[in-house]
Structure 1
Amino acid sequence: MNNVLSIGQFLLTSAMAILVLAVVCDAVVLTGRGARAQAVPAPAGPGGAHGGKAVGGAVGGRASHSAHWARASRPDLPRGLALYATGFTAIALALITAYLALRASATGYSPFANQHEFAVSFTFGILLMYLIAEFRYRVRWLSIVVLPVVIALLIYADSQDKAITPLVPALRNSLMLTLHVFFAVLAYGAACVSFAAAVLYLLHPRLKRFRSLPSLEVLDDVGYKAATATFPLLTMMTVLGAVWANTAWGRYWGWDPKETAALVTWLVYGAYLHARVTRGWQGSRSAWLLILGFAAVLFAYFGNHFFGGLHSYG
């Protein structure tokens, strides 16, 4: 068991170091004088549409929409230092995946049982969703927000108790443990991507001197698309949690503090999508809602330290 912990510590430390290198490479690529503009207006559509109108001076219309999807379907592969940045990020994800697999092999259950394991799993979800977003949209600027969040979570995970201990009785349902937390990990990862897009949207006026900065329209659309992934994943997490709660505690819902925090998080993203689709909320207002949503995610996650209740294990 000590060997497992030693190897695990090496994997996590290596992942943190490699992510620092990725951030440095991305910063050089994005702020360099030769960085070229990489964003084009996003297409119009329900909820994420701008109806052919420009945001922040971008040119709308059918031609620009076609150009966007042509670029998205045949994106340029990263080159030079950008390729290193993407490669470092992918390697960090592989190391974290290896760490989680190592713990699962050593314990015999999914590595989601305590604050340390879930923090590492949280970083897995964020990096996975970020790499998907980078491949799909080529918005490398997201890394400037996303990767520091991942590094901070890994530092937090390293500060938690890493000892491998038997599962508490409430967690002794391997299938439900895996499904419930896996959907949470993916939801939180997508939420972090939408948060990054929202932060960049609000900081756009201060960063617009960088030629590689995506347009406001692209950032707005990426934040929306990530939120449309977050909400159904949160829904699955909540439904599975209720089913598991009935198995473990004999009731589907008991207004336990962490259950309530998860419900509030779900409602924030539901309100965002409702305002976006029915009220036409875009721009700064929707960006602030996405930031509020990710704050609710963090509050629900770190609530184990001060909520108490039935979810206070770990």
Structure 2
Amino acid sequence: MLDSIILSYVTFVYFAAFLFYLVMMVMGKEFPGRLATVMSVAGLVVQTAAIVLRWKTSYKLGIGHAPFSNLYESLVFFAWTIMLLYLIVEWRTKNKTLGVFVAPLAFLAMAYASFSPNINSGIQPLVPALKSNWLISHVITCFFGYAAFGLSFGLSIMYLLKSPDTRETHNIFLRLIPPRGILDELNYQMILIGFLMLTLGIITGSVWAHSAWGTYWGWDPKETWSLITWLIYAAVIHSRLVRGWKGKKIAILCIVGFSCVLFTYFGVNYLAGLHSYAKS
């Protein structure tokens, strides 16, 4: 289908953006960074158009649902939320270095969606459990939460790479990374956004579960791991606000938290449960 062909090309656009961000960091030149931003914006615009096209096509086929219903569509949307949130952060901070650590997440999500032989890119009818108006709100809130945690993951890696001594290195790559204090504060902002979105995602999912299966919580593997992920980031926020944790400890916890995000998203799809449709 045309939309999936367009989206496969977006994969290479995001890969090119990553390469330009990397060249910027290695060479310390501003021009590759500008090209990277242009590629990122172009990829996001084209991806948005392809998602809208896929949505319209589903109605023309008589299926008629938002393009968030299977693994292919969720991967595409995951990449979209990551790039959108990243570009907002880049615009706000006027710093492009995070792109080296975040653009690969969008590229890998798109590459897996577009080129994995195990993923069906066709538009499929909804299973009965997905025929709900809660689908859009649940998916959007969850994936914006995942995207914020993805940016937090990138910021945490940057924090661990950055030396506390700003005079320490002749390495251009490390010197271009913002000071640790800025990284720590921006990381905390991403954690708060992600935690809020994931909380809303769990709430909307619970309401949806009640309408679909008659129970707000069934201890399905995805529900359980969503709760584990939520508790980890709740612990991060608690540790910062109550115990005053900052810096390295928070960065390590965020990396652990994002590992749980990935398992919640991918790993539990291969366990028997109410969300097993998401692996198709």
How many percent of aligned residue pairs carry the same amino acid?
Answer: 38
1:80 aligns with 2:31: yes
Q: Deviations 1:197-221 (Å, cap 9, x if unpaired)?
A: 0011112249952232211111111
SS of 1:310 mapped into structure 2: coil
Q: Which residue of 1 aligns with 2:120?
A: 161
SS of 2:266 mapped into structure 1: helix
CA distance in 2 between counterparts of 1:222 and 1:139 reads 12
Q: Which runs of 4+ in 1 moved over 3 A?
A: 205-208
Q: Which runs of 5+ in 1 are unaligned?
A: 36-78
Q: Which residue of 1 aligns with 2:228?
A: 264
Q: Deviations 1:56-105 (Å, cap 9, x if unpaired)?
A: xxxxxxxxxxxxxxxxxxxxxxx633222111101111122122212211
Number of aligned residue pairs? 264
Q: Deviations 1:124-175 (Å, cap 9, x if unpaired)?
A: 11111111111112231111111111111111112211122210000001x2
Q: Which residue of 1 aligns with 2:56?
A: 105
SS of 1:82 mapped into structure 2: helix
The structure whose Rg is larger is 1
| Alpha-carbon contact 1:23-1:143 (below 8 Å) kept | yes
CA distance in 1 between counterparts of 2:7 and 2:146 reads 20
Relative contact order (C-alpha < 8 Å, sep 6+): which is higher?
1
Shifted more, 92-101 versus 266-275: the winner is: 92-101
Alignment of 1:153-232 (within 5 A): 153-158=109-114, 159=116, 160-173=119-132, 175-205=133-163, 208=169, 209-210=171-172, 211-232=175-196
Shifted more, 124-133 versus 16-25: the winner is: 16-25
| Alpha-carbon contact 2:153-2:254 (below 8 Å) kept | yes
Alignment of 1:1-314 (within 5 A): 5=1, 7-33=2-28, 35=29, 80-107=31-58, 108-158=64-114, 159=116, 160-173=119-132, 175-205=133-163, 208=169, 209-210=171-172, 211-314=175-278
Q: Which residue of 1 aligns with 2:61?
A: none
* Distance 1:254-1:305 versus aligned 2 partners, 3 A rule: closer
| Alpha-carbon contact 1:100-1:111 (below 8 Å) kept | yes
CA distance in 2 between counterparts of 1:144 and 1:246 reads 41
Q: TM-score, normalised by structure 2?
A: 0.90
SS of 1:140 mapped into structure 2: coil
Deviation at 1:251, TM superposition (A): 0.4
CA distance in 1 between counterparts of 2:130 and 2:254 reads 31
CA distance in 2 between counterparts of 1:21 and 1:170 reads 38
